[in-house]
Structure formats: C-alpha cells, structure tokens
Chains A and B, each alone.
Chain A
C-alpha cells in the first residue's frame, strides 16, 4: 500500500498509463467495466489530488465520475431528497460533520454498512471520528475523510509592527493554554496596531474555535439539546463578544467575498485556522501575502469541520462503491490528500507517514504543519455531535455573533435572538 501511495504521488498528474506489474490487479476482472459516481460539495479535493486517477489506474475496469455542488447548504437538502426518494444518488456521497449525526440517525436504513468493506480497519481511524458515523446497533455508515484540527494563522509583518513576537514557538507560548490569552494578545496588538488592520477577522471565527475545543457543545451524550444551558458555549460566546466589543475584529463574515478581500488587503493579523483553511488563505492572500503568513499552535486544541463518505444502499453497485470509499479513506490516500490539498487525515495511522509527519507549508514560512496539526488532532476532546449541530452552529454565528460584531448589538440581546432562531429552526 505504501508503494502504491508512492507510485501515485509520482505520477498522479500524468495521463493514465497501464499499471505496473504488481500494482493492483492489472488483469481486468471478468465483469464489464463499471462507472462509479462520487457526489461531493465545494472543492472536496479528492479529484484535484489525483486520487480518482490513481484508483482507475489500479482498477482499469472502473471509471470514476464526480458531481459537485459548490454550497453545502444546497448539497445537503438535495442529498436528503435523493436518499428518501431512492433516486438521483451518486454511488458514493460526501457528508459534512455537522450533518453526520442526522444522517446516521434518520437515514440508517438507506445506507450501506462500511465497517467490513474491503480494507477498512477500525484501528486506522481516530476513535471519535469512527464513532460519529456509527449507529446504536454498531453499523458504520460513513468513513471519515478529513478532520479540522485547529491552529492560529498570523501575519508576521503585522505582529512585528505591533510589537508582538513573530517566531511561531514564541507566538504559540503567547497564548498557550487559554483563549483569554489570545484576547490579551489582541489588546496588546490593538494598542500599537498598524492603521487599517485588526487583530482577527471576525468574532464568529473566535467563537467557533473556542466551542470546537469543548468536551460538551450543543448536545449532550443522551442526544438532548443543551446549547442554551451549556456554560462552555456561553463562555465561547462571551469571549467572541469581547473581541467584538473591544474592536479587535475586522467585522467580516467568513467565507464571503469581503472576507476574501480582507486576506488580500491584509486587514487582519490573525485567524483561527483549521488545517483545511491553509489552502484557502494561500488562494485569497495570494502572492502579495507570500512570506508574511505563519502558523502557530492554538491556545487549546479543537476540531472544526471535516467530512465522511457514505454509500447509499439503493445503488446498483454498492460493493464496488464501498470498495472505492474504503480506498479513498485509507491512511495512504488521506496522507496524499493532506500533502496536496491540506485536508488533515482522520486516519490516525496516517499521522506517522512522512507525507504528514514531515509536512511543511512553504507559503506559511515552511511551518511544520504536519507536526502542529497532528499534535492538535491527538488532543481534541471527544464531544457528542447532535443531529442539528451544523444548523445550531450556523445560527449562533450568522444570526447571533455576526450582529454583535457588525452592528454592535448588545451580546445579551443577540444571544436571545439566536436562541429564539434556534428554537424556531428546530421546531421546539
């Protein structure tokens, strides 16, 4: 398998060539050629990293086609409609972590059990990632692709101008262990900030990062919604609000064109960044930001985002699809996905592979991103995920904290508005 990964790394962008002897099964099977479809959202990266090409080289009788929708909020309802109708589905479908509990809870009868798909080894995966897609009766409906361990990305030039340290070890020590130290660093930055710059991009980004490290978030282990009464959520809210009230944010909303331009124009000095955000920052900050960015450890470990692959059982090629999903999520392929696209492996067996362990990111000052993110991933507390995790998170950020940040609404009043919106959305 390691040899296969090395082979793949060598020629993934080359045109398909006949497989070398010994790699996979060079003799086409007796069956007719099959076409497998993979449905994903956003720029998922598997195609871009050359994984499909590699699989087709190993299996000349398999062709892979990908369908992609750019937005999760369009992709997910469509996936549910297709699942409940039993039609229009791809052979393999991606599911975001905010939706995985709902998919496992309500679509179990329409998805194949992947626990025993060829090549799947439970001990390869992070235990909590494996558990998130497992039903009460022990079936595993999704295989983890990536996770989103947290770090803080920062601009060395802006930190230096404001009199903060710039070396990533020193920066990490500046706020090690406590998100309130990140706030203190922000206040220090603000006192001597270069004109037109803020310490961080958004209050919502800070809040999401703090919540992502809590051992209890929006649901408890029994599946009850506890968002309103959970002190950890409230603490994250108060910290995010403190950033907004102290004027330490650029008052931007993440993943909007304004945010993108904020990167390009260097309007903020730091952003809490899961591994998958590195490529995005590099894209948006562009050549103008080259040599200015670096990555330091986050105050506390946390996990923000990540995905799964599921196989609808209504499909005509369930066995072939399960084999593909298993191969795509195997440690070697996850390592390639990290190396090429920055999606951090959910397979802990991949952490030790050189493609991960020794990974450095040239755009971020050759930061040892493999080491930084593996360390964060190992310490992520295991928190229960609930069916509406994604929706609750979105409302807290985009209805609640966004108002505190952008319109100066009082945190208490914005909190009540968010709770009301959550109750309405969850039909409580």
Chain B
C-alpha cells in the first residue's frame, strides 16, 4: 500500500494524465500523505507547545504544583511593563545583539571577500572559517570565560603586557556585554562568511568585466556589483542573526560559573532568554515565564513587521 503510494508519487505527470480517473481522491491525497510526517511532528513539537505556553501565560502557576493554577488574565503581561528586570534584560538583549551582529556581519563580508580571492589552500581556509560554528556553545563559552578571567585571564594578561590596567570582564556593565558578544561573534562569523561566499559565486562574472571596462576600481566593483548581488543573502543572515540575538541564552548562562541564570551580580548581561529561564526554573513561576516567552515572540514579529513596513515604504517612494 505504502509502496504503491510511493510509486505513484514518482510517476511522471504525463503518465498521470493519460491514466483514467479511477481513484482521484487517493491520488490527490498522496502528496499530503507524504508531507504529513513533517506537519505531524511540527504540530506535536512546535504548535502544541506554542499553544500550551500561550494558555499557561494567563495563569498564576508554579513548578511546585502545576495542577493548582489560578486564572490571572493578562496580569503576567501587564506586570512585564513595570518589571525593571524585564526592561533590563530587553536592553541587554538589544545591546549584546548589536554588539555581536553588526561587527559579525561586516567581518563576515570581509572574510568572504578574502576567501573568494584565488589563494593557496582555499579549502583549508574555508573549513577553518566554519570550525567555530561546529564547536559547541558550552565548550566555546567555557574557554572564553577562562580568557576573560579577572585575576588569571589571558586577556587581562595581554592588556598588562601593553601597559593597560586589567578589566573586570564579569562585572563591568559594558565589558561583560562585550565579552559575551565576542563569543557570539567568534562562533558565527565564519558561518555567515560562507553564506556570503556562496552568494558571491552566483554574481555573473560579466558584470565585473563590464564594470572594470567602465573604469571601476576594486572597491567600486565590490560596492556596486558584489553588494547588490548579495542582497538576499544579507537579508537572510540579518534575519537569522536577529532571531539568534533575541534567543541568546547559552553564552550568557555559561559565561560565569557563579552567576547562573541571573546574568551577573547586577544582571548586567542577563538576556531575555536567560530571564525567562530564571523565572521558570529558578524562581519556578511558570506563568510568568510563559508570558515572557510570548512577549519575546511578539517582539520579534513586531520587529520584522517594522522592517517590512520601512522597506516597503522606501520601495514605493523610489518607484
């Protein structure tokens, strides 16, 4: 039965057309049956948790007794507005996101440009660029935390060598954000560079030749030919980086072995993801954690909506 379904799916469309319309329902159902496993899994592990979280966010409910929930209406959302820890986490998330994403994408562009050139051992450099991405968050973060140690860290040692005073990378409000962002930067730059590299390969070489004939230098060719060719890739990496920034969790969690989910003594690098975890699994308030999760989703959706609106408006204006 399943074998037959599979075979029918593989027959060319032309053969399908000459076949008498014997069992139209089944042939129309076949594609749905084939995509069903994905959607079933998505419903079970994507849609259901999403809906359950939404439902939970309207209750006062603790991990100690999930069955004893109390209807709270929009209270969990309303209190976010006056929750200074939420605003602190939101601003940390945005700042760390900017500190990590902007230099990351610029650097990736530069790396991709270099990798696109004909150099010896290209394959080695490409694999090397991807190596940080293949490293686990935990391993990378633990090593970075060692580098950024206050008393015996390598970074402070290097600062000392060049005559600068040591920095408290854990407690400094900016230093700690920079340190966490640098882990993200290190892990994702190579990945983005390879995406840009692949996109650069799709730019037709005639365009470069034509530009060169018109007297464009290397920089202008990059600016006027390469960059416009990369637009879809730029949009993709920008969107993925933004999502990653909002969900940033592992790096700040493991950056200090003593801080845990608090994100530092003064919550100086507590991100939204970390605050959600703290509410749910340290403070045990499942309802508040659920509301926070939905607030994060809504923030992302609103952010992308805003970007679309701005870009759409500009596009129409140009036309």
Contact = CB atoms under 8 A, between A and B. Distances in A.
Interface of A: 73, 77, 80-81, 84, 102, 106-107, 253-258, 261-262, 267, 391, 398-399, 402-403, 406-407, 409, 417, 420-421, 424-427
B236 interface: no
Interface of B: 62-67, 83-85, 145-146, 149-152, 168, 170-171, 256-262, 265-267, 281-285, 288
Contact of A427 (B67, B170, B282, B283): B283
A102 B282 contact: no
A81 B286 CA distance: 11
A107 B171 CA distance: 38
Given A406-B171, A427-B288, A256 B83 contact: no
Nearest to A105: B64
Given A257-B146, A402-B265, A427-B285, A407 B171 contact: yes
A399 B265 contact: yes
30 contacts: A73-B260, A77-B281, A77-B282, A80-B63, A84-B66, A102-B64, A106-B65, A253-B258, A255-B258, A256-B256, A256-B257, A256-B258, A257-B145, A257-B149, A258-B150, A261-B151, A261-B152, A399-B262, A399-B266, A403-B171, A403-B265, A403-B266, A406-B170, A406-B171, A406-B265, A421-B85, A421-B262, A424-B83, A425-B282, A427-B285
Contacts of B261: 73
Contacts of A102: 64
Main secondary structure of the interface of A (DSSP, over half): helix
B168 A407 contact: yes
B258 A106 contact: no
Given A73-B282, A407-B266, A424-B283, 13 more contacts: A73-B261, A80-B284, A84-B64, A256-B256, A258-B150, A267-B151, A398-B258, A399-B262, A403-B171, A403-B266, A407-B171, A417-B266, A425-B283
Contacts of A427: 283, 285, 288
Contacts of B171: 403, 406-407
A392 to B, nearest CB: 11
A144 to B, nearest CB: 22
A18 to B, nearest CB: 45
A106 B152 contact: no
Contacts, number: 78
B63 A424 contact: no
Contact of B65 (A84, A417, A424): A84
A258 B282 contact: no
A107 B64 contact: yes
Contacts of A258: 149-152
Contacts of A398: 258-260, 262, 265
A254 B259 CA distance: 11
Contacts of B85: 421, 424
Contacts of B281: 77
Contacts of B64: 80, 84, 102, 106-107
Contacts of A80: 63-64, 284
A81 B66 CA distance: 9
Given A398-B262, A406-B168, A84 B67 contact: yes
A256 B254 CA distance: 12
B108 to A, nearest CB: 32
A402 B266 CA distance: 9
A297 to B, nearest CB: 28
A84 B63 contact: yes
Among A77, A80, A406, A424, find the residue whose CB has the most chain B CB atoms closer than 10 A: A424
A107 B265 CA distance: 31
Nearest to A407: B171
A81 B266 CA distance: 29
B119 to A, nearest CB: 40
A409 B264 CA distance: 14
Nearest to B285: A427
A340 to B, nearest CB: 27
Contacts of B258: 253-256, 398, 402
Among B64, B265, B266, find the residue whose CB has the most chain A CB atoms closer than 10 A: B265
Among B66, B152, B257, find the residue whose CB has the most chain A CB atoms closer than 10 A: B257
Shortest Cβ-Cβ A-B pairs, 6 listed: A106-B64, A253-B258, A256-B258, A77-B281, A402-B265, A425-B283
A320 to B, nearest CB: 27
A198 to B, nearest CB: 12
A407 B84 CA distance: 21
Contact of A257 (B63, B257, B285): B257
A267 B151 CA distance: 11
Contacts of A254: 258
A84 B63 CA distance: 8
